[in-house]
């Protein structure tokens, strides 16, 4: 080969090597970043449709359970105060119970309910053999000690999985119940065919209800887990850089449209757990309109994780009923 041709070939090969090892490319996700004027538009993960599928499955399981045991699973919800959002959540949970053949009980208490009065209600439900799951809707009004209330719920009826005993079992990978929202996130990933084993998952938010348990669940040795997990919070340095390193980005911080397109790796899976009431309506913690042009998979708000949270609550209540009658 003449000198000029060899020089051109060497430069072509060098360009290929540089392209193949470009650190900006996704790692084994099968999705490449936009090139030139091309645009990646995310596939929307429909949590509402998936939750309806899971509820249909649960309805069959509940019908079989009732036929075999003559016991109707029952969820008791306790609402303190008049918070509009909490009233909607409880009403949706009651409706979901009715649709799947499960019984529900609703205890509404005034805003000025004392700790002693609330504990009395919880203790009564603990002793009620017809109640299999207990849900104390949060947030509670100021002056009420949430951790103490959650700890007062019988662990075998704690279908939110907030009791310290259930948290400990989760950490040891021996869960009695999986917390509802993190379990919904995992089911969304599993049933959407998102590979978690070996993936880098970044969880933005370290709350006891979502952030921490989500990280614990996804790092366990199990199906829909086995991920390498990073948890970010308000003190995390270079947060945009950490987010961009994620194959799967899960956001739960309660700040409207906080995560923007420049914080997302092209082709990444983005799960928006946040739900925020604004003048423009309900929005998530992710800037949906900009991120959908970058992400490979993306959940909407509403209609993403929220419906799955309720489906997982029903699943936990059925499991609690099975535990309590020994089946």
Q: Are 251 and 272 in contact (CB under 8 A)?
A: yes
| The three-state (H, E, C) secondary structure of 204-262, written as one string | ECCCCCCHHHHHHHHHCCCCCCCCEEEEECCCCCCHHHHHHCCCEEEECCCCCCCECHH
- 8-state DSSP, 267: T
Residue 263 burial (CB < 10 Å; 0-12/13-18/19+)?
A: buried
| Dist CA 94 CA 274 (whole Å) | 22
| Dist CA 60 CA 257 (whole Å) | 38
Q: What is the helix (H) or strand (E) element at residue 68, kind and residue range? A: helix 47-69
Residues 6+ apart with CB under 8 A from 52: 307
Q: Dihedral, CA atoms, 200, 190, 258, 35, nearest 10 degrees?
A: 70
> Three-state SS for 180?
helix
Q: Dihedral, CA atoms, 251, 252, 258, 261, nearest 10 degrees?
A: 10
Active site residues: 93, 137, 160
């Amino acid at each position: 080969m003449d000198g000029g041709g060899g020089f051109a070939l060497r430069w072509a090969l060098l360009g290929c090597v540089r392209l193949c090892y470009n650190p900006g490319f996704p790692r084994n996700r099968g999705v490449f970043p936009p090139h030139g004027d091309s645009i990646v538009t995310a596939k929307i993960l429909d949590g509402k449709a998936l939750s309806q599928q899971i509820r249909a499955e649960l309805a069959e399981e509940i019908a079989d359970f009732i036929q075999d045991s003559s016991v109707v699973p029952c969820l008791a919800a306790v609402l303190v105060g008049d918070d509009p959002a909490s009233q909607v959540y409880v009403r949706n949970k009651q409706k979901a119970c009715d649709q799947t053949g499960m019984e529900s009980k609703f205890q509404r208490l005034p805003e000025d309910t004392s700790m002693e009065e609330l504990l009395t209600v919880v203790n009564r439900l603990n002793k009620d053999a017809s109640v299999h799951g207990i849900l104390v809707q949060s947030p509670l009004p100021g002056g009420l000690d949430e951790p103490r209330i959650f700890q007062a719920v019988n662990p075998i009826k704690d279908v939110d999985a907030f009791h310290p005993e259930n948290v400990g079992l989760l950490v040891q990978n021996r869960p009695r119940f999986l917390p509802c929202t993190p379990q919904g996130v995992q089911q969304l990933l599993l049933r959407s065919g998102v590979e978690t084993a070996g993936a880098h998952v970044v969880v933005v938010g370290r709350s006891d209800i979502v952030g921490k348990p989500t990280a614990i669940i996804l790092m366990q040795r199990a199906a829909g887990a086995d991920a390498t997990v990073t948890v970010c919070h308000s003190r995390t340095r270079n947060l945009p850089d950490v987010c961009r390193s994620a194959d799967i980005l899960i956001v739960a911080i309660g700040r409207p449209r906080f995560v923007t397109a420049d914080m997302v790796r092209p082709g990444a899976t983005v799960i928006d757990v946040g739900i925020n009431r604004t003048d423009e309506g309900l929005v998530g913690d992710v800037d949906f309109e900009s991120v959908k042009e970058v992400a490979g998979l993306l959940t909407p708000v509403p209609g993403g994780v929220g419906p799955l949270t309720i489906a997982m609550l029903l699943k936990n209540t059925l499991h609690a009923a099975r535990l309590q009658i020994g089946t």
